[in-house]
Amino acid sequence: MDDIDARIIAALIRDARASYAEVGKEVGLSAPAVKRRVDRLRAAGAITGFSARVDPAAMGWTTEGYVELFCGGRTSPEEIAAAVRRYSEVADACTVTGEADALVHIRAADVRHFEEVMERIRAEPFVVRTRSVIVLSRLVDRDPVPGSLGPPSVS
């Protein structure tokens, strides 16, 4: 990926509905040249898709929190992923370092709903215990910034 590819991706992050002509104007290429590059970036897996960003509160999801999962035995990341993927309230999940085995980001309508989702996850056979926190206010919420699209620079 070169600088122009990074600038195309940055433009699409800002507005995935921008036309190839609009993106081309921004990066100094023709619309067909932008399309070829986007097609190549998609084929290479650098661009995995296009989606709409929505405000969770506008959709009725006013409560969010994080749940640490502590799993028993030799629970694989695939088992954890398969289980938490079943819950539409799970916005994100990942394996982590430290005591917990996984961290699950939940969006819910309210605290009662959050608790219900937590209880369903806690009932998964591999979950030994959980620890949760509820988000009070979001301090930073951003997509990758254009300067961070390439590999980190080493000084």
Identify whether residues 61 and 125 lie together within a single domain: yes
* pLDDT tens digits for range 96-147: 999 999 999 999 999 999 999 999 999 999 999 999 999 999 898 876 655 5
Find the domain containing 91 and state its range.
56-134
- pTM over cut 0.85: no
What CATH number does residue 68 fall under?
3.30.70.920
Helix ranges restricted to H, the chain: 3-14, 20-27, 31-44, 77-85, 111-122
Task: Find residue 130's DSSP bridge partners.
Answer: 69
What CATH number does residue 26 fall under?
1.10.10.10
As a whole number of angstroms, the distance between CA 54 and CA 78 comes to 28
Q: What is the DSSP letter of 133?
A: E
Identify whether residues 26 and 78 lie together within a single domain: no
Look at residues 92, 120, 89 and name the one whose alpha carbon lies nearest to residue 107.
Answer: 89
The residue whose two tokens read 């254009």 is 146
